Structure 1
Amino acid sequence: MPQPLALLIGAVRRGDARWIGYLFASVLALGCDAGLFLLLLGTGLEPVAASALGYGLGIAVHWLVSSRLVFADSAAARGTGERQRQKMLFVGSALAGLAVTTAVVGLGIGWGLDPRIAKLAAIAISFQTTYLLRRHIVFRPGRA
């Protein structure tokens, strides 16, 4: 069974609603990222700029869903310094996810894997990495 599917089935069996909600937030953010990327490409914008803007929208969408639904019980109150700290840590975790993705794809290609397979592995590893960072650091229970 593929690893992402096994993780989803395990989360459902454990009743891990937070992990499933995070998966939903990630899929939604990825859809917004890719959608804006394709839209901007269609307007003639350079691919690198379109990619960066799409990624930025994905981070914003993920923050909104994560802070209001997935981790609402441990998100700091709006307008506070703690909320600003959480936002900065959230962006930091997104950059960590980007670094993990880049490293996994690079290693995969170096090992002779098809880049698409390497990217699929990177998505799964980056997803779990950012989930753990956000659950245990950004939205650490009892901190807000």
Structure 2
Amino acid sequence: MAAILSRVADVRLIRYLLASVGALAVDMGAFLALLALGTWPAAASAASYCAGIAAHWLMSSRAVFADSVAESGGARTRQKVLFVGSALLGLGITTGIVFAGHNAGMDPRLAKVGAIVISFVATWLLRSKVVFRSELTE
């Protein structure tokens, strides 16, 4: 039984990684477009991350955690709030790293890459262990 659960978790992680790549494409596309328009790098990072959040919810709730998405009502609202909370943590991590990197003279695109890795790990842990926990969907 443990082997089956481990395999399911591995598949879910792969789906989450693919959803994250899709959301990252939205995030980075918007980030680079905003930088090209002359937007302050930390603000561009925050705005583009928000666009990625919306894309990630759609992909996560339909392809990654579809079996543990709350049907409707209070449980679904609670799940969305927790998802947004995890996204805000990721936003804070991403914006903070880009801000610090830019202030330290680092290319904001490189700072964003480092932020992506750290934010991915933090949000995966929160979403897999808290947001889409089956006890919350009942």
TM-score (norm 2): 0.72
The correspondence for 2:114, drawn from 99, 110, 121, is 121
What is the match of residue 130 of structure 1? Answer: 123
What is the match of residue 35 of structure 1? Answer: 29
Q: How does 1:74-89 map onto structure 2 within 5 Å? A: 74-77=68-71, 79-89=72-82
**Structure 2: which 5+ residue stretches go unaligned?**
1-6
Q: Which protein has greater RCO, CA pairs closer than 8 Å, 6+ apart? A: 2
Query: Could you say what secondary structure the match of 2:82 adopts?
Result: helix
Q: CA deviation at 1:143?
A: 2.3
Query: Could you say what secondary structure the match of 2:115 adopts?
Result: helix
From the superposition, tell whether residues 107 and 57 of structure 1 become closer, same or farther in structure 2 (CA, over 3 Å). Answer: closer
What is the match of residue 62 of structure 1? Answer: 56
**Structure 1 Cα separation of the partners of residues 29 and 98 of structure 2:** 22
**Structure 1 Cα separation of the partners of residues 84 and 26 of structure 2:** 17
Query: Aligned residues: percent identity?
Result: 55
What is the match of residue 3 of structure 2? Answer: none
**Structure 2 Cα separation of the partners of residues 35 and 120 of structure 1:** 13
| RMSD of aligned alpha carbons | 3.2
**Structure 2 Cα separation of the partners of residues 121 and 38 of structure 1:** 16
Number of residue equivalences:
127
Query: Could you say what secondary structure the match of 1:25 adopts?
Result: helix
More helix by share: 2
Per-residue CA distance 1:66-105 (angstroms, 9 max, x = gap) = 011101111101x411111111111110111122234455
Q: CA deviation at 1:52?
A: 4.6
More moved, 98-107 vs 24-33: 98-107
**Structure 1: which 5+ residue stretches go unaligned?**
1-13
TM-score (norm 1): 0.69
Q: CA deviation at 1:41?
A: 6.4
1:27 partner amino acid: V
Please state if 1:47 is matched with 2:39.
Answer: yes
Q: CA deviation at 1:117?
A: 5.1
**Structure 2 Cα separation of the partners of residues 107 and 53 of structure 1:** 17
